[in-house]
Copies of this chain bind each other. A is one copy, B any other.
Amino acid sequence: MSASTPGTSHPDLEALQALLDARQLLPLLPMIYVAWADGELHERELLELRERMTKMLGLSSEDQEVLASWLDPENPPGPVALRYLLRALHRDGGALATDERLSLAELGMRMALAAPPAEGSPANEELRTSLREIEKALGVVGTEATEQLRPEARDTSATLPARNLDFDPKKLGELLDAPHRATREMVRELLAGDQFEYTDGLPLKDYRELVVTWLKALADSGIGDRCVPDKRADGTRDMSEFLAIFETLGHFDLSLLVKFGVQFGLFGGSIMFMGTEHHHRTYLPRLASLELQGCYAMTEMGRGSNVRDLETTATYDPDSKSFIIHTPTETARKEWIGGAGTYATLATVYAQLIVEGVNHGVHALLVPIRDAKGQPMPGVRIEDQGLKMGLNGVDNGRIWFDQVRVPRENLLNRYGNVSEEGHYESPIPSPNKRFFTMLGTLVAGRLGVSAGGLSAAKSALTIATRYSDQRRQFGPAGAPEIPVLDYRMQQRALLPRIATAYALTFALRELTRRYNSVDPDRRQTEALAAGLKAYASNFALGATQAAREACGGQGYLWLNRIAAIRTDVDVFATFEGANVVMLQQVAKARIGEYAHELNDGNFFTMARVLTRQATRTLSETNPVVTRNTDTEHLDDADFQLDALSYRESDLVSGVARRIKSRIDKGMDSFEAFNDCQDHVIAVANANVERFVLECFIEAEKNTTDAALRRALSQLRKLFALSIIEKDMAWFLENGYVQGNKAAAIRDRVNTLCAELRPDAVAFVDAFQIPDTLLSAPIAFSEGKAPADAQVEHARGIARD
C-alpha cells in the first residue's frame, strides 16, 4: 500500500499519518473507517472493539497508542482525517480495484498481504480468523460495508431486465382493438393531426372555443354521422362502434370527450331513442354536422340522483297546442348542463308532463334556449357555472325557464305522447316502467363513462409505467441506482392496475355486446352498466391517482398530462349517476333480480324477492381448499372465480336476510336498506368483480395465439388475486381462506408483480396510445424526449 500522506498541511493529518505509519494497523484501516463513518457506535462498543483489536492482533504498545487515539469516544477523529483515510483506502489499487465483493476482513487481509509483513504480525490464517472475529464484533453485514468504500459508488449504465414473456405488443393491441380495429385506427389517425394539440393555461373562454373547434373537426370527418345515423328507423345505433370511437377519443383531451358525449351520446341519443321520425329527420343531420349544438337538461339543483322527483314542469296548453316549460322554484333550476354555458341552442329538457291537469311523470322535450346569435331565448335565463376542478373545456350551465312555450311536436314522443285532441297516450301503461325507459339514454351514457374512464386510466398508467421503467433512484451499495419500477411498492401501485385495465376492457366489450344485441335480460344488463360505470370510474380515479403519485413531482406538472387526466376524470365518479347510487342499483338488481322496481325508494315488491333469496343455501367450504397454498391452485381460474362467486352469493343472501329481518321487525324498507348500506355496496362490488373476472377468463380462453394467451393468463391471475387480497378480511372472516392461505395469496401477488415487471412496458404499449396523445415528456426515454418542447413551454409561461 502506498501509504503516503496527501499533499496538504491540514492539522488533522498528523493523526492520519501516524495511523498509516502503524504497520500492524494496516489490515484494520477499513474497519476503523467504518466504525466512525456511520457515527453511531456507542462509547461502550468502541472500547470493546479497541480491546478486541488489541488482543487479537497482539499489537505493540506504540500501535496500541495510535489505535487508542483513533478509537477514542471522547476525542473522535476530525472530518478531514476521516475523509483522507477513505482516500488512502481508495488509492490502494491492489485491494479495492477488483469486481469481487469483499468483506471488510478480506479487504484488510489483502491490504496486509500487499504490504511487507509488519513486525510481530500473526500468521496469515490466524490473521484472517482474527479479522473476521473483529468484523463480527463491529456488527456489519457481508460485503456491503466494503462496497461503500469504493470511489465510484454509482454506475448509471446498467441495462434493463430482459422480458419474461414472448408476446408481441402489436398483436396484443389488435386483440384489444377488436371488433372495431379499423374504426379505432381511423380515430387515432385523426387525433394525430396537427390541430389536436394539447394546451394549458388558456382562459376558460379560449379553451372552450378550442374544444368546439376540435369537435367540429370530428364532425367534419364524418364521425358525427356514424354516431347519430338518421337512417335507422328504429332509433338505434351500433353502440359497439360508437363506444369504440368514444373509447379512443378518451386518450385525448377529456373535455372534448365529454362535449362529444353530450352532443352525440346524450343530446343526439335522446332524440334517437325518445324521438320519432319527425325529430330524427329534423334534427339528426344538423346535429351530426354540428350545425346544431345541443345539451341534455336533466339534472336540477335540488335533484341530482333523484330524477323521478324533478320539479320542472311542462304543462300542455290545448288552446295553443303547445307546452309551457317552467321552473317553479329555485331548486328546480337545471344545473350542470354540459354545453348550456355557452354554445347549445337546443336542449332536451326533462320535466314533469302535465296534461289535462294530471301529472304523467318525467318526459323529455326539445326546448330552444338560444337564438342564432347565441342570445338566450325569451323566458330563458342561463348562467355559466364557471371554473371547475377539471373539464374546463366543457361549458356547463344553469338554466331557468319562465313560462317558455314550445309546440306540441317538441315532445320526444316515442314513449309518451299528447294527441292532436290533447290527450295523453303511451305504449307503456306502467308509469314506473315508462320512467325507466325514458332514462334509457343514461344507460348508454354509463357505458360511455366506463369507456372514457378506462381510456383515461390507460393513458395515465402508460405514462407512469414508462417513466417508472426509466427513472432511477437509490440502489444497493456500490451498484447502479435501480429503476423505480423495481421497487415492490411501485410494482404494486401500477401492475395490478394494468391488469385491471385489461380486465375492464374485456368486461366492457362483453357488456356492450349484450347491450347491442337482443338481450333476454335487459334489466340485468342495465344494472350491470350502472355497476360497471361506478366500478370503472372508481378504478379510473384510483389508477390516475396512483400514476400521479408514482411519477412524484413530475406527475404534478401539467405538461406531463397526468394532472390534467386526473382532475378531468374526477367527476366521472359523480356524473351520469353518482357511484353510490349506481352501486345500489346493481345491488338491488342482484338482490331482487328486479332492478327497476327496487330503484328509487320503490321497494315494495321486495319481500317476495327476499323470501326467495333468503332460502338460498351456500355450499360449505372445504378445509382442504381453505388451507391450500399451492401456486398452481392459487393461479387457477376456477379457484379464483369460485372465490368471487362464493363471496357474491354469500353477501347477497346475507344482506337479504338482514334487510328482511329489519322489515319483519317493522322497519321501513328504505330505512332497512340504508341500515345495511355498506353491505349493499359490498354486494354491488362483488357482483361487478365476478362479472369482470368471468369476462377476463372468457377472453383468455378465446385467445388462440399461445403467446398472447400466456400473457393474458398472467394478467388475469394478478387481477383476480389482487381483488381477493383487497377483500381478504371478508374471505378470512367467512372462513373461505385460512391465515396461511391469505399469506400465500399476498406472496403470490408480490411474485406476479415481479414476474410481470419486465413486460410492464410491453403491456402498456399494447394499449396503442399514439405518442402525440400521450405527449408527456416523461413517457419517453431520454433522447426521444421532446426536451425542447419543455423549454419552449416554459418560455411560453414566462412570457404570460
In the complex, the answer to whether B549 meets A360 with C-beta atoms within 8 Å is no
Tell me whether B553 and A575 are in contact (CB under 8 A): yes
Q: Does A735 contact B (CB under 8 A)?
A: yes
Question: Do B141 and A429 touch (CB < 8 A)?
Answer: no
Residues on the B chain within 8 Å of A574, using CB:
549, 552-553, 555-556
Q: A117: CB under 8 A from chain B?
A: no
Q: Pick the most buried of A305, A473, A676: most chain B CB atoms within 10 A of its CB.
A: A473
Q: Per a CB cutoff under 8 Å, which of B8, B486, B578, B676 touches A552?
A: B578
CB interface residues, A 343-365, toward B, < 8 Å: 356, 358-360
Q: Is the CB of B305 within 8 A of A487?
A: no
Contact pick for A386, options B201, B336, B597, CB 8 Å: B201
Residue of B nearest to A154 (CB): B309
Flag whether A10 is at the interface (Cβ < 8 A).
Answer: yes
Cβ of A317 < 8 Å from any Cβ of B? no
Does any Cβ of B come within 8 Å of A580's Cβ? yes
- A185 interface residue (CB < 8 Å to B): no
Is the beta-carbon distance between A604 and B477 smaller than 8 angstroms? yes
**Measured between alpha carbons, how far is A365 from B675 in the docked complex, in Å?**
62
The reply on A192 being an interface residue by CB < 8 A is: no
Is A604's CB under 8 angstroms from B140's CB? yes
What residues of B have a CB within 8 angstroms of the CB of A797 in the complex?
A: 204, 384-387
B38 touching A670, Cβ below 8 Å: no
A553-589 vs B, Cβ < 8 Å mask (1 yes, 0 no): 1011111000110110011011100111000000000
Query: Would you call A671 and B553 a contact (CB within 8 A)?
Result: no
Contact with B along A243-259 (1 / 0, CB 8 A): 00000000000000000
B-facing mask of A413-429, CB < 8 A → 1, else 0?
00010000001111011
Q: Mark A16-48, 1 if CB is under 8 A from B, else 0.
A: 000000000000000000101111100000000
Q: Are B429 and A39 in contact (CB under 8 A)?
A: yes
Contacts of A597 in B (CB 8 A): 38-40
A629 to B559, CA, bound (A): 53
CA A606 to CA B553, docked complex, whole Å: 31
Task: Tell me the number of copies of this protein.
Answer: 2
- Give the number of chain A interface residues (Cβ < 8 Å): 146
| A370-394 Cβ-contact flags toward B at 8 Å (1 or 0) | 0000000000000111111110000
A144 and B476: CB pair below 8 A? no
A490 / chain B contacts, CB cutoff of 8 Å: 580
Inter-chain contacts of A678 with B (CB < 8 A) = 488-489, 492, 746, 750
Which residue in B142, B416, B671, B798 is a CB contact (below 8 Å) of A476? B671
Answer whether A670 and B477 are a contact pair too, CB < 8 Å, given A38-B430, A386-B794, A389-B566: yes
Considering only residues 506-557 of chain A, those with a C-beta below 8 Å from chain B are: 541, 545, 548-549, 552-553, 555-557
Flag if A674 contacts B548 (CB, 8 Å): no
Minimum CB–CB distance for A362 against chain B, Å: 13
**Binary contact track A787-800/B, C-beta < 8 Å → 1, others 0:** 00001011111101
Distance of A166 from chain B, by nearest CB (Å): 26
Instruction: Indicate which residue in B82, B84, B200 contacts A387 across the interface (CB closer than 8 Å).
Output: B200
Residue A688 interfacial (CB < 8 Å): no
| A148 adjacent to chain B (CB < 8 Å) | yes
Please, how many angstroms separate the alpha-carbon atoms of A128 and B756 in the complex? Answer: 69
Is A127's CB within 8 Å of the partner chain B? Answer: no
A203 contacts B by Cβ under 8 Å: yes
Whether B474 pairs with A305 at a CB distance below 8 angstroms is yes
Is A80's beta carbon under 8 Å from chain B?
Answer: yes
Residues of B near A360 (CB, < 8 A) are 79, 83
Interface residue stretch chosen among A270-278, A495-503, A693-701, A725-733: A725-733
In the bound complex, CA of A492 to CA of B11 (Å): 67
| Interface residue stretch chosen among A284-292, A431-439, A763-771 | A431-439
In the complex the two chains form, what is the Cα distance from A685 to B678 in whole Å? 25
Task: For A800, list chain B residues within 8 Å (CB).
Answer: 203-205
Q: Contact at A36–B553, with CB atoms within 8 Å? A: no
Mask of A111-128 contacts with B, CB within 8 angstroms, 1/0: 000000000000000000
A578 CA / B484 CA spacing, docked (Å) = 12
Q: Is A2 interfacial (CB 8 A cutoff)?
A: no
**Which residues of chain B are near A39, meaning CB under 8 Å?**
428-434, 597
* Set of chain B residues within 8 Å of A669, measured between Cβ atoms: 141-142, 144, 476-477
Given A145-B604, A570-B556, A580-B489, are A389 and B733 neighbors across the interface (CB < 8 Å)?
Answer: no
| Contacting residues, chain B, for A793 (C-beta < 8 A) | 386
Q: Is the CB of A201 within 8 A of B201?
A: no
Residue contact A38 to B306, C-beta cutoff 8 Å: no
CB A340 to nearest CB in B, in angstroms, measures 12
Interchain CB contact (< 8 A) of A729 among B87, B385, B742: B742
User: Quick one: which of A416, A548, A666, A743 has the most chain B CB within 10 A?
Assistant: A548
* B contact residues around A594 at 8 Å (CB): 40
Interface contact A80-B425, CB-CB below 8 Å: yes
- A605 contacts B492, C-beta separation under 8 Å: no
Q: Which 6 A-B pairs have the closest CB atoms?
A: A39-B430, A139-B608, A389-B563, A39-B433, A488-B677, A387-B558
Assuming A6-B356, A489-B677, A545-B545, what are 10 further A-B pairs, CB within 8 angstroms? A39-B433, A83-B359, A487-B580, A488-B676, A549-B574, A549-B579, A553-B574, A728-B732, A729-B732, A732-B733
| 8 A-B interface contacts by CB (under 8 A) | A38-B430, A83-B359, A144-B670, A145-B604, A201-B203, A304-B553, A389-B567, A733-B743
